Structure 1
Amino acid sequence: MRIGMIGCGNIAAQYLASFPLLPDVELVAVADLDPERARAVAAEHEGVRALTVDELLVDEAVDTVLNLTIPAAHAEIDLRAIAAGKNVYSEKPFAVDTADGAAVLAAAEQRGVLVGSAPDTVLGTGTQTARAVIDAGRIGTPVAATATMLTPGHERWHPNPDFYYTPGGGPLLDMGPYYIHALVTLLGPVSAVIGAGSRSRDEREIGSGPRAGQRIPVSIDTHITGVLVHASGALSTLVMSFDAVATSARPIEVHGTEGSLAVPDPNRFEGEVSLHSLGGEGWTDVPVSAGYVEAGRGIGLQDMAVRGSDLRASGRLGQHALEVMNAVLASSVSGARIEIASTVERPEAVPLQDLRTAATA
C-alpha cells in the first residue's frame, strides 16, 4: 500500500519511525502547509517526494492518504482524498463534528475505498492481552469499567497549545479516542451516554517555548465525566481532565462477576495487564498473549493493507467513538441521557504476532 502523508508535524515522526518495519506499507510522498517541513522529511527518506497537498491528492503513485492534519481539517482532507479515489487513514479524532465523520464514511462507501482511523494502539499487546482475558471468561460477565486520564494541561509542555482550549479540543476529543477505542475493543459498542463537564479557569499560561508566559483563553470545559452504557449492559465511567495533577488509578479497569482486570495506558501499544480473580490472593500479572509485538503508530495501516475491508482500526470505529464523545459533551450541557445512533462490531481480536511477520496475519 503506497502512502501519501499529509501533515509533517510532531506526530509524523512516530509514523516515519514505523514505516521501515511495515512489510506491506511504503511511504512515497509527503505534503504540508509548510513546504519546508515536507521537503525536510523527503530529504531524509529515500524514494519519498515532497509535494503540495493538491499534488499529493491526485498523484497516481499514491493509493492511500495518511491524514495527519489538525483535527478541524480531518474531514475536509478525507473527503478530497476519497473524491480522488484514494483510501484514507486519519489521525484521531476521526473528525470534529459527528455529521462530518458520517459524510466521510458515506463518501467512501459510494466511491468504494477504505477508511481507517487512529488510534491503532489498541492493536498492541497491552489492550489485546486484556481482551484475551475477557474473551476467555476469566473475569466472568463484565459489568463495569473505569477509564481515567488526568493531567494539569498540555500548555505546560506544548509551545502552541491554543487549539486544546477551543471547540474541537479539550481532554475528551484529544485523549478520549484512545480510551473509547479501547473500551469498545474490550466491551463492545456504546448505546447511550450521560455526561457532565466543568472548567477550573478561563485562561492558561504557556509554560515552554518562545511564547512561554503568554496567557491564552479557555473557551471549553476542561474536565469531562461521562457514563457510557454499552450495548452489552456494561457501564463504563470515563474521566478526562486537564484540571487535575495526578492519579494513582490504572488507566482502565474492567470489573466482572468473577474478577477485575487492570488494563495499561491505551495511548501505548504495550504495558502490564493484571488480574484479580474472585477468591484469589491479590493482583497477578498476566503474560502477554495477544496483539502485535513491538508495534508503533502505523500498524493500523499494515493491518489495513493486509485485511482490506476487514481492517480493525476502521473509520466506522473512529466514527462511533466520535459520536460517543460529542454526545457526552452535548449531555454535559443539556443534562439529558443521549442515545447513540451508530454501532460497530468489536474489531476482530489480534493473535500474538511479531510486527515483522504482520503480513502473514
Structure 2
Amino acid sequence: MSGVVVVGAGIVGSSVTYHLARQGVPVTLLEQGPAPAAGVTGDSFAWIRESGGRWPGGAQDLHEYVRADYRRLESELPHITVRRTGSLSWADTPAAVSQPGPGQFRIGRRDITALEPHLVHPPEQAVHTPSDAGVDPTALSHALVTAACAHGATVLHDTAVTSLQLTNGRVEGVLTSAGPHAATTVVLTAGTNIPELCAPLSADLAMAAAPATLARVAAPPGLVKTIVAGPDFEVREVRDGDLLLVVPHVADTAAAYEQAAQRALQHLKTAFQGSDRCRLLGYRTGRRPMPAHGPVIGYATHDRSVYVAVMHSAITLAPTVGRLVADELVTSRPAPELRRCRPRVL
C-alpha cells in the first residue's frame, strides 16, 4: 500500500504515524499547530490506567494490551519515561470508596501514609492500584513523531486540514491551508474536528466534546509520590518538581478559570505537608472527544479511503491503537481486537 495521510499530531495520530512508518509505509502527518500535542493531548492528565475506571464499548477489549504496548514503546523509544507510581483513590467517606476491581486493593491509613507520606490527613481507606502510571503526553508525542521521521515519515506542522478532497464521490486526499495532499487512505485522528471533516460522508460520527482544565504547579520534587484522586483534587507529578492538577469545570470565563485554578492549588496546599512553596505556573482548558459508546476506530467509507481513530482515554490506548491500526492498513485484515470499535457507515 502507499500514500497514507494522517490528520492530527496528537497522541493517537503520532502513534499511528510511527507504527505505519516503522512498517515502511509512505506516510505524511499533518498538524494544524506548531508542534505535536499542541491540542487536547497537551492538556491531558495522562493517567495510564490498566485496571478500574470505565472502559465503554470496545475499550474493554483493548485495555488488556496496554501494559505490553507501553513496555514495547519504552524499548523502541528509550528517551520516553513512564512513571509507574501506582494510584490512590478515595471518596468523602470510607463507605463511599469504590469496590476494588482486578489488580486493585483496599488499603488502610498506615499503608496510605507509607505511599503518600506528605498527606496531612490521610483517609481511613483508599483503593490502591499499583499498576497505574503516568506519562508526559507532549514528550511522548514528540518522541513518536521524531522516530516516525527517522523511519521515513513526512511531518508538516502549521498545516490545517480544511476538508476532504472528493472526486466523483471518492476521497482522494485532503485540502489544507498549504494546498492539497493526495492519499490512497486518509486517517483522521483529529479528535473533536473529525465530525466536521466527515460531514460529506455517510458515516455516523457524532460525539460530545467535554471540557477539561489542568493546572501546572511547581512543587518540591517528590511532594506527591503516586497519582492521587481524592474528593477535592486529582494530582500527580509529571516530572520532578512539576505537578499536574485537575481543575473542576466552571463557567467558561477567564476570571472563573483563574479562581478555580487558585482554589485547586489551595486544596493541594491544605492536603500536603511541605507544599508552601507550590506555585501556579499556568492552566489550560482542552475539549476532549467523548464518543458515546467507546472508541471509534475503523473505515468511515465503504471504499476504505477514509479511516477514523478517536477515543477517550487516548493516552492509555494510543500505543495499542497505533499498532492495531497500522496492522489493519498494511495487511487489509481486520483486527479482532477492534471489532466493537467500528464506526457506523450508512
Q: How does the TM-score come out when normalised to structure 2? A: 0.29
The structure richer in helix per residue is: 1
Q: How does the TM-score come out when normalised to structure 1? A: 0.28
